[in-house]
Amino acid sequence: MRESVQAEVMMSFLVSEELSFRIPVELRYETRDPYAVRLTFHLPGDAPVTWAFSRELLVDGVNGPCGDGDVHIAPEGPEPLSEALIRLQVGGDQALFRAGIAPLIAFLDRTDKLVPLGQERTLADFESHLDEALGRILAEEPSAG
């Protein structure tokens, strides 16, 4: 059985209303952590930055505004399901990205073929692996500073 799905998507990093630039973002989903997706942002001149959050949040975010805390995702654009805004926040600092919804849906479709939504529990005993998963996610969080 295949154990991961990954894709590279070009996103716009929105620095301000007047300035944005396109960057490659790696999307990754692994069966060893079936509830999470990881987005690795390759910013020019900086080391890659990886964010991990719920796959369900990404699914919900392409359909309507959602997210509490550090990650917010919402569809945007003149046409339904054309683009999504992804806002990542640490303390008072935030980064805003715009992505086409079609490649996000294609990635999510591939993850669903690997592990159907709602079937994640069949891969792992969530309770016994919770501390391990939280430890990995917290280790990957960018430090505020």
Chain segment 95-123, per-residue pLDDT in tens:
999 999 999 999 999 999 998 887 787 76
SS (H, E, C) 96-131: EEEEEHHHHHHHHHHHHHHCCCCCHHHCCCHHHHHH
Considering the four listed CATH numbers 3.30.499.10, 1.10.287.610, 2.30.31.20, 2.40.110.10, the one that applies to the domain covering 4-118 is 2.30.31.20
**pLDDT: which is higher, 47 or 125:** 47
For the chain, how many helices (H) and strands (E)? Answer: 3, 7
β-sheet bridge partners, residue 20: 14
What span, in angstroms and rounded, lies between the C-alpha atoms of 36 and 63? 18
Mean pLDDT score across all residues of the chain: 87
pLDDT of residue 116: 87
pLDDT of residue 35: 93
pLDDT of residue 85: 96
Chain segment 69-100, per-residue pLDDT in tens:
899 999 997 777 799 999 999 888 899 999 99
